[in-house]
Amino acid sequence: MTRDIYRPFPEGEREEKLQAFAEFVKERDGVPDLATRTLSRREETLKRFRGTTILYPGTFDRALFDAQYRHYDKRRKTPQEILLLLTFIKLNNVEAFAVEKSFRAVERGVVRFKDDLELILLLEEHYHTKILLSAANLFGLNLEPRFEASLGVRVINTATLRLPDVIGYPLLLVAEFLGVIMLLRMLRSLREIFKATPPLCDALEERLIDVLIDEIGHVTYNRLQLNSWGLAQAKLCLPLVAVGIGSPVGEARALGLCPVPWRDVFTFEMKQVPEEIRRQAFIA
């Protein structure tokens, strides 16, 4: 993907692909409503996710989870299952922060959507918050979203909102790309951790794949906004954004999900995405 995302589109092809992507998104998401922050078809998916019964086998250590959720202590022995759930939830916190800040900027008139498609993509990000949080339901937990993020994430989010498009889109492209890599590493990890409990593994995987399909589309969208100069800027931004985002949560580090080796960041290609995801995502 790294090589692919920095390849400029032939003259005249970008608009055609943008239109095709817009049709793909509308078919996938349904009707947007900014007032209620909803997408009609995604509401159906979310309702199904939230209605899933508890699938975690055995006894769940709620006291340990609560303590590590409040403040992660790497010295405290924590099962991989809880570490992965905490990663789901705390990655959600980072995204929840960025999305909430974006919505508030729009409501204040600081940021305006270029078109309806940008509105829908922001609403998709809003659903990612809810989808990842619904993983807690599978363990018998009912959690509310939190809006926390590191200084690096705050700076990058502010930059993408305030800076001109010629700078904002390259930053967004790289941030979305790094997000795809992180989610794919989580997918491999959960398949290993929960391989003995297929129903739970499948339910977690379905949620992660639903988010991944969107994120791959967001990489495509931001790439389509850029000409060869903008794509070159994105390539230059990659190390800066990677350092700024850093290792999202301590639990992810404990699972070996991050930091992502630089070699993997700079050599990643779309063929590494599982076929079942590539079939469903929009890849230009």
pLDDT tens-place string over residues 116-141: 898 899 899 989 989 999 999 999 99
Question: What sign does the CA torsion over 81, 86, 89, 91 have?
Answer: negative
Q: How far is residue 143's CA from residue 108's CA, in Å, rounded to a whole number?
A: 28
Q: Which two tokens stand for residue 67?
A: 């303590």
Which H, E and C letters describe 231-245, residue by residue?
Answer: HHHHHHHHHHHHHHH
Q: What angle do CA 224, 115, 160 make, to 5 degrees?
A: 65
- pLDDT, position 150: 58
Cα–Cα distance list, 183 to 12, 73, 243, 252, 274 (Å) = 32, 23, 17, 11, 12
Cβ proximity of 25 and 116 under 8 Å: no
Q: What's the pLDDT at 246?
A: 58
pLDDT tens per residue across all 284 residues of the chain: 555 778 888 878 999 999 999 999 999 999 999 889 999 999 999 999 999 888 998 889 999 999 999 889 999 999 999 999 999 988 877 677 777 777 777 776 656 677 789 889 989 998 998 999 999 999 999 887 765 655 555 555 555 555 556 677 888 898 889 889 999 999 999 999 999 999 999 999 999 999 999 999 999 999 999 999 999 988 888 887 777 665 667 899 999 988 888 888 888 887 789 999 999 999 88
Spatial distance between the Cα atoms of 80 and 190, rounded to a whole number of angstroms: 9
Give the integer Cα–Cα distance in Å for 204 and 54. 12
pLDDT of residue 116: 83
Residue 30 CA to its chain's centroid (Å): 20
Q: Is 209 buried (19+), middle (13-18) or exposed (0-12) by CB count in 10 A?
A: middle
Give the model's pLDDT for residue 219: 93
Give the model confidence (pLDDT) of 23-72 as tens digits.
Answer: 999 999 999 998 899 999 999 999 999 998 889 988 899 999 999 998 89
How many helices and strands (H and E) does the chain possess?
Answer: 13, 2
- Residue 190 tokens, joined: 């959960």
Phi-psi category of residue 256: left, alpha or beta, with phi > 0 → left and psi -120 to 50 → alpha: left
Tokens of 11: 């003259």
**Closest to 69 in 3D by CA, of 156, 154, 139, 165:** 139
Distance CA 197, CA 223 (A): 38
